[in-house]
Structure 1
Amino acid sequence: MDTFGSRLRTFRERSGKTRAVLGGLVGRSAEWVKALESGRLLTPRLPMLLRLAEVLDIDDLSVLTGDQSLPIASVTRAGHPAIDGVAAAMYRTTLPAGDPLAAAALRARVDQAWTAWHHASAERTAVAALLPRLLADARLAARLLDGAERRQAATELARVYHLVQLYAAHQPQPQLVWLAADRAMLAAQDADDPGAIAAAAWYYAHVYRSDGQPDAAEQVLVDALDALEGSGGDDQLARWGQLQLGLALGHARAGRAGHAWRYWDSADSVARRLGIGYVHPWLMFGSVVVDAFGVTIGIDLARPGEAVRRAMGVDYSALPSRTRRAGGLIDAARAHLMRRDEVAVVHLLSRALRESVETVRHQPHARGMAMELVGRTGVVGEDARELALAMGIDW
């Protein structure tokens, strides 16, 4: 008989997760998962269904519940008002008229856009105002400039596509994220720049992992490491370390703890060689960032105690990016939710919201946690309802 429990078991086994791992990722026990799969427990309520779907990379709840179609994006993903304009700029096939910008001038413009992404409290709104024209100018320069100037312009075009990917993430147009990742890699390869290819691999791996393709994520990172071999300087060393971090994240998502922490150790070693205060200006690789991703790895490995311990040791104020600080605080909240410390969850989400309203508003885990807590009684429920309103959640 095709029941909720049997469907849950099928998706859990397909994802390679044990009952203990799945239970840990949603703050429950292996016995709870077993009871769901055997039909001894009723189908959970919507907030828990959303958490299960996110962990199992399910895009439509109907495949899990058997009920009427309810795309996950309709509940957990909020569309930014400017998404259609950015999408139109990405889909445009014609180049604008006029002369191309010099590579140095283009780089200054791209640097400005990245600064807006990292330092604005409404980062999506800030970059959405820049992306359509920046895409057109970068494409024009990469097409019409010659020699070294053209290769430099292609490198900058890849960086613009990375921004599009970040902007479009967790919104109801997932095809835009794939398109941006693919075009960024093509531009980096066209530039014949190992550092640009390494950055493109970092972002492409995120897309593969989110789509439940850990092996593809690992391959793109390994290929980029091979291309980067022998390069020197702090910038290239940071990119090498970030690829190690990407491999760590992939192994954690696949539940391979030993490999995950081994690659994390490699990334941490590189970050400390670069200096405790070093952070790459736009990729944001550095020791405090590696520390924050240690929390993510603990969560993905379903080790809440480890994740909470690491979260307590991260100096989030030292992260020189509002978006990165907000993302780190959301992960810290996820770790505490696994321990059912709901007061800490509300506190951390509130801190994240002060750093970046839009990071929190568009992050599925943040929205899912708020939705789960709005029904609580007392202070936790009151604060969660205020958070939900600030996130634009109609609860």
Structure 2
Amino acid sequence: MDTFGSRLRAYRERSGKTRAVLGGLVGRSAEWVKAVESGRLLTPRLPMLLRLAEVLDIDDLSALTGEQSLPVASVTRAGHPAVDSVAAAVQRTTLPAGDPLAAAELRARVDHAWAAWHHASAERTAVAALLPGLLTDARLAARGLDGVDRRRAAVELARVYHLVQLYAAHQPQPQLVWLAADRAMLAAQDADDPGAIAAAAWYYAHVYRSDGEPDAAEQVLLDALDLQGGGDGGGEQIARWGQLQLGLALGHARAGRAGQAWRYWDSADAAARRLGPGYVHPWLMFGSVVVDAFGVTLGIDLVRPGDAVRRAAAVDYSALPSRTRRAGGLIDAARAHLMRRDEVAVVHLLGRALRESVETVRHQPYARGMAMELAGRTGVVGEDARELALAMGIDW
């Protein structure tokens, strides 16, 4: 008989996760997973269904429930109002006539857009106003300039596509993320710039991991790593090399390979320490405090909540010079505490994240899922969670 439990088991086994791993990722025990799979427990409520779907890379809840189609994105992904205009700019196949910007002027404009992404509390709204025009100018420059300036413009075009990918993440148009990642890599390769290729690989690997393809993520990072010269150059080269090490660590953690994950994390940490305690790359955001924050992510993906909570307590989130990264780090800290059933801490950390960046929290599926789950609680936790949910645009 095709039941919820049998479907859950099939998707769990397809993903290569044990009951203990799946239970840990959604804050439950292996025995709970076994009881659900065997039918001894009823089908979970919507918040838990969403957490299971996210962990198992399921796009439509009907795959689990067998009932009417309900895309996960329709619940967990709040569309930004400007997403259609950004998508139209990315998908435009023709360019207007005109003289290209000088490479230096284009770089200044791209730097400004990245600063808006990292420092605005509504970062998607800030960059959405800039991206359509910036895409046009960067594409014109990459096509119209010559020689070294053309290669520099191609590097900037790749950076613009990275911003498009970040903007489009967790939006109801997942094809836009793939398109931006692919075009960024093509622009970086056209520039024949190892540093630009490293950045493109970092962002491309995110797409592969999110799509449940950790091996493809690893390959794109390793290919880029071959071009970096071992990270023995100056500060910029060390940062790009360290970022690739961090990307490899994240992929191995997602695949449950703890030894390899922490080995690459150690390499990233060593690179960050070489750059000094106060160093953070101005737009890639690589540095010691960032590596520390991603250590929490590794602990979560490896289902070691105690380690993740301990690491989160040691991170100086105020030292992250990016509101979006601070909010993202605090969401991960909340995820770690949820795995430990420390719901008061979860609400507190989500509130802190919301104060850093409303839009990061509003568009992050894990944050929305946690708020929805806790909003069903009684008492103070439920009351505070319902307020958070409303701030995220979840109507309770």
**Same fold, TM-score > 0.5, yes or no:** yes
- Aligned pairs for 1:310-329 within 5 A: 310-329=311-330
**Within 2, Cα distance between the matches of 1:109 and 1:96?**
19
Given that residues 230 and 241 in structure 2 are in contact (C-alpha distance below 8 angstroms), is that contact kept between their aligned partners in structure 1?
no
User: Which consecutive segments of 4 or more residues in structure 1 shift more than 2 A?
Assistant: none
TM-score with structure 1 length normalisation?
0.99
- Give, as a single letter, the amino acid of the residue that structure 1 aligns with 2:238: L
The percentage of counterpart residues that share the same residue type is 90
1:58 aligns with 2:58: yes
Instruction: Render the CA deviation track for 1:356-386: whole Å, top value 9, x for unaligned.
Output: 0000000000000000011111111110010
Instruction: Kindly provide the amino acid, as one letter, of the partner of residue 162 in structure 1.
Output: H
Q: Is the 8 A contact 2:120 2:126 kept in 1?
A: yes
The residue that corresponds to 1:85 in the other structure is 85
Deviations 1:183-205 (A, max 9, x none): 00000000000000000000000
Q: Give the match for residue 170 of structure 2.
A: 170
**Distance (whole Å) between structure 1 residues aligned to residue 39 and residue 226 of structure 2:** 49
Amino acid paired to 2:101: L
Deviations 1:73-99 (A, max 9, x none): 000000001001000000101112210
Deviations along 1:282-312, one digit per CA (max 9) or x if unpaired, are: 0000000000000000000111001000000
Distance in 1 (CA, whole Å) between partners of 2:172 and 2:392 is 16
Summarize deviations over 1:321-379 as a string: whole Å, max 9, x none: 00000000000000000000000000000000000000000000000000001111111
Determine if the alignment matches structure 1 residue 48 to structure 2 residue 87. no
SS at match of 2:68: coil
Name 1:250's counterpart in structure 2: 251
Partners of 2:259 and 2:2 in 1: how far apart?
36
Q: For residues 352 and 23 of structure 1, what CA distance do their matches in structure 2 show?
A: 25
Pair 1:100–1:61, CA change in 2 (3 A):
same
Look up the equivalent residue of 2:72 and give its one-letter code. Answer: I
What is the deviation of 1:245? Answer: 0.4
Deviation at 1:228, TM superposition (A): 1.4
Q: 2:242, 2:13 → 1: CA distance?
A: 32
How many aligned positions are there?
395
CA distance in 2, matches of 1:285, 1:334: 22
Match of 2:214 in 1: 214
Rounded to whole Å, the distance in 2 between the matches of 1:133 and 1:305 is 46
Partner-residue secondary structure (3-state), 2:205? helix
Post-superposition offset of 1:230: 5.2
Structure 1 residue aligned with 2:288: 287
Q: How many angstroms does 1:167 deviate by?
A: 0.3
Distance, in Å, in 2 between the alignment partners of 1:386 and 1:340 is 20
Q: Secondary structure at the match of 2:227?
A: helix
Aligned position for 1:73: 73
Counterpart Cα distance in 2 of 1:243 and 1:14: 28
SS of 2:324's partner is helix
1:163-214 alpha-carbon deviations (Å, 9 max, x no partner): 0000000010000000000000000000000000000000000000000000
Q: Who is 1:384 aligned against? A: 385
Q: Deviations over 1:7-60 (max 9, x none)?
A: 111111111111101000000000111111111111100000000000001100
1:144-293 correspondence to structure 2 within 5 Å: 144-229=144-229, 232-293=233-294
Output the CA distance in 2 between the equivalents of 1:111 and 1:238.
18
Unaligned 5+ segments in structure 2 are none
Q: What is the CA distance between 1:238 and its match in structure 2?
A: 0.3
Moved more, 204-213 or 229-238: 229-238
Q: Distance in 2 between matches of 1:230 and 1:335?
A: 33
How far apart are the structure 1 equivalents of 2:360 and 2:203?
17
Q: What is the root-mean-square deviation in Å for CA atoms of aligned residues?
A: 0.7
Task: State how far apart, in whole Å, the 2-side matches of 1:37 and 1:22 are.
Answer: 12
Aligned to 2:94, what secondary structure does the other structure show? coil
TM-fit CA distance, 1:63: 0.6
Aligned residue for 1:22?
Answer: 22
Amino acid at match of 2:94: T
Cα distance in structure 2, aligned partners of 1:190 and 1:280? 23
**Distance in 1 separating the partners of 2:69 and 2:26:** 23
Q: Deviations over 1:102-153 (max 9, x none)?
A: 1000000000000000000000000000000000000000001000000000
> TM-score, normalised to structure 2's length?
0.99
Deviations 1:206-236 (A, max 9, x none): 0000000000000000000001125621011
Amino acid at match of 1:327: G
Equivalence for 1:394:
395
> 34-43 or 196-205: which moved more?
34-43
Equivalent position SS for 2:242:
helix
